[in-house]
Amino acid sequence: MWKKYSYGWVTLGFFLITLVGHWVFGWFAFAEEQASHGQPAEFSPYLVEMLRDTLENWQSEFLQLLWQVGGLAFLLYLGSPQSKEGDDRVEAKIDEILKRIAPEEGQKIINELDEAYAGRHTDPHYQAPE
């Protein structure tokens, strides 16, 4: 599990390290600002300010990037119609080339490949090329 999802674990580690760093250094900046106004640094106003800043950063930076990269990768993984369009076209072209080069052997190869990879299609409407 660690090796299979290593990129995700490293990304989560970076996220947690930067989030903790944001809150720790935010406290130092908040305490310094409060001291410059002659007020004690209290946790309650700091919590409100840091939650606001964190959510603002989340919305403007991370969520946007997460949707652009993660959403696209997720949709491609699920096999949205847009992601299959190119693959189906390429497969049809290769099938046609095999049929034209060696009609009997080409069809045999296509059938063998279809049988070998039949269980790998996640789309319930998938139809193997004829």
Highest mean pLDDT among 7-16, 56-65, 121-130: 7-16
Residue 33 lies in a domain: yes
Mean pLDDT over each residue of the chain, to the nearest integer: 82
Contacts of residue 105, Cβ cutoff 8 Å, sequence gap at least 6: 98
Distance of CA 95 to CAs 88, 91, 120, Å? 10, 6, 18
Question: pTM to 2 decimals?
Answer: 0.48
- Answer yes or no: do 68 and 13 share one domain: yes
- Answer yes or no: do 56 and 11 share one domain: yes
pLDDT tier at 40 (50, 70, 90 boundaries)?
Answer: very high
Range of the domain at 98: 81-120
Indicate if the pLDDT at residue 43 is higher than 50.
Answer: yes
Indicate if the pLDDT at residue 124 is higher than 50.
Answer: no
Using CA atoms, how far apart are residues 111 and 78, in angstroms rounded to an integer? 25
- Minimum mean pLDDT range among 14-18, 30-34, 58-62, 83-87: 83-87
Question: Domain tally for the chain?
Answer: 2
- Answer yes or no: do 58 and 103 share one domain: no
Mean pLDDT within 37-42: 94
Residue 127 lies in a domain: no
- Answer yes or no: do 60 and 96 share one domain: no
Indicate if the pLDDT at residue 97 is higher than 50.
Answer: yes
Residue 16 lies in a domain: yes
Q: Look at 83 and 110; give whichever has higher pLDDT.
A: 110
Closest CA to 130 of 99, 100, 101, 105: 99
Residue 85 lies in a domain: yes
